[in-house]
Amino acid sequence: MTAPPPRLRIDKWLWHARFFKTRVLAAEVAGAGRVRVNGNRVTKPAYAVGPGDVLTFAQGDQVRVVRVEAIGLRRGPASEARTLYTDLDQGRDGCSGET
C-alpha cells in the first residue's frame, strides 16, 4: 500500500511560501473565500493542499496562479520558499515570480 501524498493547511502553505507576511493574514484570505484550489473556492484555512494543486489568489493588485510543488517544513528564506511552487503566470503580464 502506498502512503498518501503529503498535505498541509492552505494558510500554512501560503505563509511558508512567503505569499503572506503572517499566517493570520493567510488564514483571513483563505477563510474569506479569496483563494481557489484547482478552480474551487476555499472557505476554510484548514483546507489541505499538496503537490500538484493549482492555487489562484489575489496578492496586492495582482492575481497569482501557482502550482504547489512541495510542502515546506518551515518558513525558510525566500530562496527556499521559491522551491515550493511554480508560478504559472510567468510571462503573462511580466511577472518574475519572485516574492
Q: What is the pLDDT of residue 3?
A: 78
DSSP string for residues in 30-86 = HHTT-EEETTEEE--TT-EE-TT-EEEEEETTEEEEEEE----SS---HHHHGGGEE
Residue 76, number of CB atoms within 10 A of its CB: 13
Per-residue pLDDT of the chain (99 residues; tens, 9 = 90+): 777 778 999 999 999 999 999 999 999 999 999 999 999 999 999 999 999 999 999 988 999 999 999 998 999 999 999 999 999 986 555 444 444
Report the predicted TM-score, pTM, of the whole model to 2 decimal places: 0.86
- Chain position carrying cell 519572485: 98
| Domain 8-87 grouped into CATH 3.30.450.40 | no
Q: What is the pLDDT of residue 37?
A: 98
Residue 21, C-alpha cell as written in the block: 507576511
Residue 8, C-alpha cell as written in the block: 498541509
Q: Could you state, in order of their start, the residue ranges of all structural domains in the chain?
A: 8-87
